[in-house]
Amino acid sequence: MTAQPTPADFRTLAQLLAWRVAASPLTEAYRHFDSGAWRSVSWEQVQALVLRWRRALAAARFAPGTRAAILLPNGLNMVCIDQAVLAEGGVPVPMHAIDNAESIAYILEDSEAELLLVDGIGRWQAIAALGRALPALRQVVVAEAAVDAAADPRVVGLPEWLARGDARPLPDPAAGPGPDDLAAIVYTSGTTGRPKGVMLTHRNVVANVHQALDRFGMGTHDLLLSFLPLSHTLERTAGYYVPMAGGAAVAFARSVAQLQEDLRTVKPTALVSVPRIYERIHAKVVETSQQGSAIARKMLAWTENVGWRRFEAAQGRGRKGALDDLAWRFLQPLVAQRVLDAFGGRLRLAVSGGAPIGANVSRLFLGLGLNLVQGYGMTESSPVVSACTPQDNDPLSVGRPLKGVEVRLGEMDELLVRGDNVMKGYWKRPEDTAKVLEPDGWLHTGDRARLDGGRIYIVGRLKDIIVTSTGEKVPPADLELAIQAEPLFSQVLVIGEQRPFLSVLAVVDHARWRGLATQLGLDAQDPKALESDAVQRWAVARVAGLVKSFPSYATPKRVWLTAQPWTIDNGLMTPTLKLKRPALEKRYAQEIEGLYRRR
């Protein structure tokens, strides 16, 4: 039986892979889709691949401390370059594969990366076309077999680059970074401005790996499906380093579009995701139910209600009905299991993090028997600060702090965090570091919270608090979650800073908009239809109903709708799928003024 990892076993991420290979060399490490089939590699095979990448780095005169920018999709290449750079004492700079060229160029320049690994020549050409000098960048390795380097001598194809190191001797296994050396510079999403490079040391990340492993447990019996980008700190720690420490296998999803098919095929036992994925599956379940018979709708509602009472009773917060256990024997295989099969059918743990998840989403899945738990963290804390577990689960909470993580409330109930997992600081930004990191190690999260019974409840963002012209202070996050429970609204933003009342900007779901337009006797193809009085009356009334549990001053009085999604490409969403509030308010300044001119 493989011994559980302890802090004494590995002190750096560079030592982690070697430890895992020694512990279980022949067990499955990764599964990827190649040439029409899913293929597996063992930990021993991964180590052999990483050694080849390390030789290539040595041939490229890659020195300790050098930054290596990684712009690759999830897969073996991403793992190999990350592990090779760490083992050589370098600093990975993971970047979102879906980010735009301008943002990527900025990160390359700011991090002073000397090496760039990129998925295709077209991506590099888009970056180069911006005309930034990038004086530190010495080499661009393109993950393609044939690359014409005539236009830029820095560019080389991956096969040729790897071959350059084949004749070099094996790297010194004793060499490598120390616990206080940098393990990554991870750039924040930048919802309010230019992204900042978060400096995470090996001590930071390794501490969080042990903390998360202690909370969730993970072993060689587990299989994760990886689809969040490995540049996302949540996936990087919880979906990459934690499975490596626990000995779990990871399957790389083919794409978000093929995610549901991959879930059914791979049948993972654990899943780490942002709320959006759960929300999509929830919307599909609800839509299928609504399109079915009245009996099917009643059966789903009955199953959810029975399952929810059983869940609450198991958590010690409620009581089951007298016949709930008997009903569950009938409802579980007939209704609940059919929904759980959408996740592969054997998921023991589903983690949601990165943003709040809607109460209606968590209630349905928990009622159907899915062990869905929320966690909380931020890039600056490596990232996990707290999490629920299936045995200790309050869906309104983000759980209890991980072992070794301290929390307290500061001014305006701001959540402060301290522990070995807290970052070293921001790259080349001492002033910004001083604003959030106190000399005694307390990190200002910028989130308002309340602490109750050892659990953390996130109330909202300090910076996002809307102050109306009447002096009311409204955190918009909970309002936005409540409004997004309406299937018509696929994206929602509440506004009202220094205005007499709140308003809502929302993107409509195309299929549901067609249904509403037909119901109201409108032409869904007419761009003006969304602005019609009939739609406005319907939207305002619907929003009011969704937020009726909030104070009256928090009820939005106007709604503006658009069919144009807010995306990364149009600059209105970050690569981690967070809305850019300032950018949205600037983009729709004219429409917002129109909302407040109306009587």
Tokens, residue 475: 């955190």
**Of residues 210, 271, 224, 251, the one with CA closest to residue 4:** 210
Q: Which amino acid is at 11?
A: R
Residue 157 backbone zone (phi > 0: left; psi -120 to 50: alpha; other: beta): beta
Q: Which amino acid is at 409?
A: L
Residue 411 CA to residue 394 CA, distance in Å, equals: 26
Do 552 and 592 lie in one domain? The reply is yes
Do 446 and 493 lie in one domain? The reply is no
Number of domains in the chain: 3
The separation between CA 92 and the C-alpha centre of its own chain, rounded to angstroms, equals 19
Residue 388: pLDDT over 90: yes
Mean pLDDT computed over 180-207:
88
Give the CATH number for residue 528. Answer: 3.30.300.30
- Rounded to two decimals, what is the model's pTM? 0.83
Q: Looking at 414, 439, 461, which one is the last position of a domain?
A: 461
Residue 432 CA to residue 424 CA, distance in Å, equals: 12
pLDDT tens digits along 535-583:
989 999 999 999 887 777 788 999 999 999 998 888 888 877 788 888 8
Do 524 and 455 lie in one domain? The reply is no
H or E segment to which residue 91 belongs: strand 91-94
Does a structural domain hold residue 1? no
pLDDT at 265: 96
Mean pLDDT of the chain: 91
Do 512 and 443 lie in one domain? The reply is no
pLDDT at 16: 95
Residue 553 CA to residue 472 CA, distance in Å, equals: 7
Does a structural domain hold residue 90? yes
CB atoms within 10 A of CB 21: 20
pLDDT tens digits along 83-117:
999 999 999 999 988 778 888 999 999 999 999 99
Does a structural domain hold residue 263? no
pLDDT tens digits along 442-456:
999 999 999 999 999
Residue 496: pLDDT over 60: yes
Residue 7: pLDDT over 60: no
Does a structural domain hold residue 266? no
Phi, psi of 68, deg, nearest 5: -120, 115
Do 431 and 404 lie in one domain? The reply is yes
Q: Which amino acid is at 137?
A: L
Tokens, residue 303: 């199953």
Q: Which amino acid is at 410?
A: G
Residue 407: pLDDT over 80: yes
Cβ distance 570 to 576 under 8 Å? Answer: no
Give the range of the structural domain holding residue 572, as residue numbers without chain letter. 466-597
H or E segment to which residue 94 belongs: strand 91-94
Give the CATH number for residue 333. Answer: 3.40.50.12780
CB atoms within 10 A of CB 322: 8
Phi, psi of 424, deg, nearest 5: -75, -35
Mean pLDDT computed over 487-496:
92
Do 146 and 117 lie in one domain? The reply is yes
437: DSSP letter: B
Taking 3-state DSSP, the helix, strand and coil percentages for the chain, each rounded to the nearest 5, stand at 40, 20, 40
Give the CATH number for residue 239. Answer: 3.40.50.980
Does a structural domain hold residue 346? yes
pLDDT at 173: 63
Cβ distance 218 to 248 under 8 Å? Answer: yes
373-to-33, 34, 370, 445 alpha-carbon distances in Å: 29, 32, 9, 21
pLDDT at 499: 86
Residue 120: pLDDT over 70: yes
Return the beta strands (E) in 125-248 as ranges: 139-142, 155-157, 182-187, 197-201, 223-226
Do 276 and 304 lie in one domain? The reply is yes
Residue 498: pLDDT over 70: yes
Tokens, residue 15: 């030592």
β-bridge pairing 558-562 and 503-508: parallel
H or E segment to which residue 28 belongs: strand 28-34
Do 449 and 586 lie in one domain? The reply is no
pLDDT at 577: 76
Length of the chain: 599
Residue 543 CA to residue 561 CA, distance in Å, equals: 12
Q: How many CA atoms lie within 13 A of 129 on its CB side?
A: 8
CB atoms within 10 A of CB 159: 12
Residue 59 CA to residue 163 CA, distance in Å, equals: 10
Residue 278: pLDDT over 60: yes
Does a structural domain hold residue 536? yes
pLDDT at 568: 84
Do 60 and 134 lie in one domain? The reply is yes
Q: Looking at 226, 255, 284, which one is the last position of a domain?
A: 255
Going by C-beta distance under 8 Å and a sequence separation of 6 or more, which residues neighbour residue 127?
Answer: 101, 104, 105, 108, 118
pLDDT at 189: 66
Q: Looking at 190, 221, 255, which one is the last position of a domain?
A: 255
Does a structural domain hold residue 515? yes
Do 129 and 276 lie in one domain? The reply is no
**Of residues 406, 436, 440, the one with CA closest to residue 421:** 406
Return the beta strands (E) in 95-248 as ranges: 115-118, 139-142, 155-157, 182-187, 197-201, 223-226
Do 487 and 593 lie in one domain? The reply is yes
Do 275 and 223 lie in one domain? The reply is no
**Of residues 324, 302, 323, 300, the one with CA closest to residue 312:** 324
Does a structural domain hold residue 240? yes
Task: State the residue for tokens 């930071």.
Answer: 204
392: DSSP letter: B
